[in-house]
Structure formats: structure tokens, C-alpha cells
Chain A
Amino acid sequence: MSPLQVHVDGIGLWSPQLADFAALRALLDGATVAPPAARPAAALLPSNERRRAPESVLLAIEVAGQAVAMSRHQAVSLVSIFASAHGDQTITDYMCSTLARQPDALSPTRFHNSVHNAPAGYWSIATGCHAASTSVCAQQASFGAALLEAVSQLLAAQAPVLLVCSDTGAGPPLCEVTGCSQSFGSALVLAPHAGPSSRARLNVQLRRGHTISELPEPLAGWRAGNASASALPLLTLLARGSGSCTVAANGRNDLQIDMESIA
């Protein structure tokens, strides 16, 4: 299979340590980076929605908003792919505890926020976007599998897409089985052709194997504590300007990504 070529027009990132992609660059350059506020700002959400939305939604909207702003594409026209390995674990914990204790006390709002596509729903409402939107997962390979889906959507439609991959942390007992203890989210706006905002060209190839790129600390530890942080090898490449990396696409295959800088 020949490589699939796409362009990166926008990048969003948020973790408890990093407010955005610029902060990742600074961190990789050895600078001391001030952490962001405890909750992602998610400024694109109307204020009443921002108060009501669960943290998983705030995180996804925050990174999506950053990536779209950097890309200078119109959010209203972007097809979107939202990935998360575990969805909103705080809500899962609430629902399972409530169902075990007093099932008829379940909150209707928290139930409708429990769907895996809650971030996609809030995003489409906030941006007035009627384009197709999907919400996906693939355990530890959620980022790579969603990237492949995003590339496939982009090439099939020859139109830009928004890819978001984010997970929020959980406490016990859930984190014992999810292994997801801290938040991490990132987003990319990908386009079929180079445009004025394009920063990098990616050649993406699905190949057999399981060689996942190494990461420097503290990034390696973040990846161990959050499946969505498996985007970090690519985010690191984007911060450094060029090179190659691999991310898991599923249990058996990797995505080999070769990057050239455009800017």
C-alpha cells in the first residue's frame, strides 16, 4: 500500500501540565512551563453549557477549539472524529455506583452525558456544524485507529477533518481496570491539500508490527497513564519539525508516520 498523504493545519493539546501545543514545544525545549487552570476552559461552549458539561466534554472541546483556531478553517464545515479509550470515567463511576445502590435515582442529565459521543454532540451544537461526526475507540490504540479513520474520511471526501482524541482520569476502583489516571487530550485539523495554514505533511502507512516510538520523560509516563496520550510521538514530531514515528493502530498493526515540515 502506498502511503496516504495528509496535511496538518491545526494542533490542539491539553493536559494538567500543558495548556496547549506551544507549551509542549516549550517543554521539549527544556523550558519550565506553567500548568493551566485545573479545568479546561472550553471557551467555545456557551457559558451555561460550560457549567453543565462534564470534564470529558470540556477537555475535548478545549483541544478541538485550539486546533480549529490554529487551522483557520471554519468549525461549521468540518467533519469530525472524536476518539476516547474510556469515555467519561467519572460518569461511568457515578452511574455504576448509583445503579448498585439506588437505580431509580439515576440522573437523566448524567445519563445522556454518558454516551460516548457526548463531546461530539456538544461540539456540533456549539459550532452549529451539521457535517458528519463519528465517535470511536480502540482501547490503547484509540489514537492510531482514529487517525486512520480520519485519514480515510478526509481522502474519501477530499475535505478537511477534525480529529480529537481525549481521555479524562479516574480514581479507584475504575482506574484499576482502565489504567487511566490523568487527563490528556489532543486534536488535529487535517487537510487533503497544503494550504496557507499547513504546518506539516504526513505520509501515513498501515503496516504489520508493534514498534511504538519511545518518548522522553515526563511524556512516557503520561502515555502509560492515559491511552489518548499515545498521540504524543506524533505531537512531539510536530513540535520538533520533522522525522518519523509509529503509533499503534490496533493489536497487530502500527501506523508509520513520516513527517516533513511545510512552514
Chain B
Amino acid sequence: MPLPMTPLAITAYTASSALGCGLAAQLDGLRAAHSSLRPNDFSSAPLDCWIGRVDGVEACTLPTNLTAWTCRNNQLAWLGLQQDGFTDRVATARARYGADRIALLLGTSTASIGATEEAYRRLDPDGGFADDMLRPAIHAPHSLTAFAATALALEGPSLTVSTACSSSAKVFASAARMLQLGLIDAAVVGGVDSLCDSVLFGFNALELVSADRCRPFDAARDGISIGEAAGFALLERVEQAPRAPRLIGYGESSDAHHMSTPHPDGLGAELALHEALARAGVDASRVDYINLHGTASQKNDAVEAALVNRCFPASTRASSTKGFTGHTLGAAGIVEAAIVLLAIEHGLIPGNLGSECADPDCGPSFAWRNERQPVSVALSNSFGFGGNNACLAFARGEVAA
């Protein structure tokens, strides 16, 4: 097991999902136990399912110098960056450290593949891309990060992590290592995934999409609801902001089992969990809240409920928030990290929205409805296709004297 890590301050963060843009919208939605899912009005052909769609993405116009980057994913990224004063906080960090001392590490599952899909829907008669789609930068999986580097004027290490639904959790681990080595002084981490036909029809082909609103950990759950989201966080050394909430641990592992179903015993998930706890230097009993991956797929939820039952006491509260936002795929890690940080800041355990009839295999840790209690240490689980697992540990900052 790894040694404890030096905690890092999260000096700014933001999230935008179908609940709305910015942290206040996430918090209001969580408090009101409000699902943002709606009947699918997005896909290019009908598909009977519910989606978590962010309002206003199409109307979002990129500044003139960035118009070549225009596509749904980058519009959502831009919308997300404008919330909660995030770009100003990055500008302050840039002035303090220099643009080349700040890493940009973003996770995405499909980046702007939606733009490539569009190019194929309206190919020229000669079979090539239409002139307005001949923009190489948006037809690459690095599109999001390259766009954000330009938008934020960052010049340090820049990397896209694309490990399906664990992508924007793993960027925290990369940032922590680069800071530990002194390669950088700060990191912007986060992720964006946007609705597109690839994921809607792809997950549908795998029979993983529910025709109804997703019901995580429900006895009758029958699949996911796909959502879209953008989220970002700024990581700096704790001395810069002792009272800011902290990243205190991370764990990463591989199931080595199957491309699209989790290990039946949760082997990889448990390895990631124990690694995160070891880096955090806390044992499971100190964890107040776990934001679960909880996709509402039959197998994920069964494996994860068993993991919670065997590793945590009832005092550790656990829930999935996919019922609020849908499964935002590569953005799930950052959105749920933001929800965990809100839980710490506001003493709110979000209830496991969407479940009417709890799966009897879920133990006493499950918070079926919102609960109010102080949260000092909290975890977020993110698991992806290919058996790729990540677990992040967060904690409250120094309390004012």
C-alpha cells in the first residue's frame, strides 16, 4: 500500500450539469431532491430513454478568437469555465506562478466526437468533410484540453485522460504526482463530456440504457440515463490556502476482468478504495460520506453495494447522485468530486435519488433521502469500461480558530 500523500488545497472548483450551471445550481438541485432528467430530445434519430441535458449549450457562443473550436463539447466546456469565477481564479494563479507552472489535466470519454458524427452526417458529394468541418483540432480526442489550454492561456504540461467513466477522477491523481515532484506549482483538473449519438446508441446497443429515469440501487433498476456535464478544479499546495477543502488521497486500479462489465467481486474497486484510504492516512470508519459510482446498471450497483457493506460501518453514509444528473460518463469524476466538496462545505449528504424500492442487498450505510450532518472526510468512486477504477478522498480544510 502507498504511503500517505501530502494533501493538496482545492482553491476553486465549479460544476455544470443538467441541474444547471455552477455550484449554486448543483446545491439547489441536491437540496430540493430534484431530478434534472428529461425524455430524450437530443439524438439524431429517436431513442426511447431519459437524458441529463444542459440547457443553453447550443446558444453559448465562443469568443471570436476561439470560434474555430466551436462544437457542443467545447461550448459546454466554455459554459462551465465561466461559472463561479473559475477563470478569474485561474488568472490569479497564472499571475502568481506563471502560465508554464500550471498543468492542465482534463478527462473526457468522447471529447468532441459529436462534431465528427455531424461531419459524417453531411459529407460532401465527393465523400469528404464539408469545408466548415475541416477543423482537425476538433476531430481529435485532445480537442477539449487543447481548447481549454487556449481559453485559459495555460502553458504548462497538458494532457487528456480518457479512461471512459473514470477519466476526470484520474486527473486528480496525475496532478498530485506532478505537484509532488515539483514539476508544477498548480494544476487545473476537470473534465467535460457532452451528449452525442455515439454514447446514446452505443450504450443502448449494450442494453445498458433504461427506458425510464435511472434508478440507482433500486431493486428494479434497469440501466443508466446518460447525461452531460463540465467541471473544473484548481489544485495548489495547502500552504496557499489552509482553509480550502483538500484532496487527501487517490487510488487507481484495473479489474483485469472484462471490457464492459465489472469484476464480480469488486476486486479492482476495492483495491482503488484501499489505496485511496492509505494515501489519505485514514481508515474506513473515519469516512463520513461516499459518493458512489452507482450508475443504475444491474452489475455495477450490485458489486458496489457489496463493497460498501463489507468495508464501511453504518455511520459512513453512501449514495449515488446519478439520479440527479444522469451518468455524465467522462465528466462523472469531476461532477461528483464537486458534489462531495459541496457535501463537505454545507454538511449535506445527498440522498440516493431515483430509487423507490431499495435493493435489499444495500446495507445500512445507504442514504436514501437527504441527510444533514457534518462531513469531514468523503470519498468519490468512479469506474470505467476496460475495468478502470479510481477512488478519490477529500477532507475539510483547517477550521478557522
Contact = CB atoms under 8 A, between A and B. Distances in A.
A142 B146 CA distance: 12
A173 B178 contact: no
Interface string A37-81: 000000000000000000000000000000000000000000000
B254 A124 contact: yes
A106 B177 contact: no
Given A112-B385, A136-B160, A176-B129, A97 B258 contact: no
B202 A138 contact: no
B387 A111 contact: no
Contact of A137 (B141, B181, B271): B141
Contacts, number: 229
Interface stretch (A218-226, A232-240, A249-257): A249-257
Contacts of B204: 104, 106
A121 to B, nearest CB: 3
A179 to B, nearest CB: 7
Most chain B CB inside 10 Å of its own CB: which residue of A100, A104, A153, A253: A100
Contact of B258 (A125, A177, A251): A125
A235 B205 CA distance: 41
Nearest to A79: B252
B205 A111 contact: yes
Contact of A138 (B127, B145, B174, B271): B145
Contacts of B182: 1
B135 interface: yes
A127 B387 CA distance: 13
Given A249-B157, A252-B155, A1 B183 contact: yes
B118 to A, nearest CB: 9
Contacts of A28: none
A172 B128 contact: yes
A111 B202 contact: yes
A104 B45 contact: yes
Contact of A121 (B136, B157, B259): B259
Contacts of A92: 113, 116
A121 B254 CA distance: 8
Nearest to A122: B259
A179 B136 contact: yes
Interface stretch (B21-29, B161-169, B226-234): B161-169
B68 to A, nearest CB: 13
B183 A95 contact: no
Nearest to A111: B202
Nearest to B159: A145
Interface residues of B, number: 75
A191 to B, nearest CB: 16
Interface in A125-142: 125, 127-139, 141-142
B260 interface: yes
A229 interface: no
Given A133-B388, A137-B140, A253 B157 contact: yes
Contacts of B158: 138, 141, 145, 250-251
A103 interface: yes
B259 A112 contact: yes
A99 B170 contact: no
Contact of B163 (A87, A134, A145, A252): A134
Given A135-B161, A137-B141, A138-B160, A149 B256 contact: no
A100 B121 contact: yes
B283 interface: no
B385 A138 contact: no
Contact of B388 (A114, A117, A208): A117
Contacts of A146: 159
Contacts of A103: 43-45, 47, 197, 201
A174 B135 CA distance: 11
A85 interface: yes
B72 interface: no
Given A114-B198, A124-B387, A173-B129, A130 B256 contact: yes
Given A4-B181, A177-B136, A116 B256 contact: no
B62 interface: no
Contacts of B113: 92, 96
Contacts of B149: 250-251
Contact of A130 (B145, B181, B255): B255
15 contacts: A92-B113, A96-B119, A112-B206, A115-B163, A125-B387, A132-B173, A132-B252, A137-B141, A137-B162, A139-B146, A148-B157, A156-B181, A177-B119, A179-B136, A253-B100
Closest 7 CB pairs of A and B: A121-B386, A111-B202, A116-B162, A132-B252, A96-B120, A124-B254, A108-B205
Interface of A: 1, 4, 85-87, 92, 95-97, 99-100, 103-104, 106-108, 111-118, 120-122, 124-125, 127-139, 141-142, 145-146, 148-149, 152-153, 155-157, 172-174, 176-179, 206, 208, 249-253
Interface of B: 2, 43-45, 47, 100, 109, 113, 116-117, 119-121, 123, 127-129, 133-137, 139-142, 145-146, 149, 155-164, 170, 173-174, 176-178, 180-183, 197-198, 201-207, 252-260, 267-268, 271, 384-388
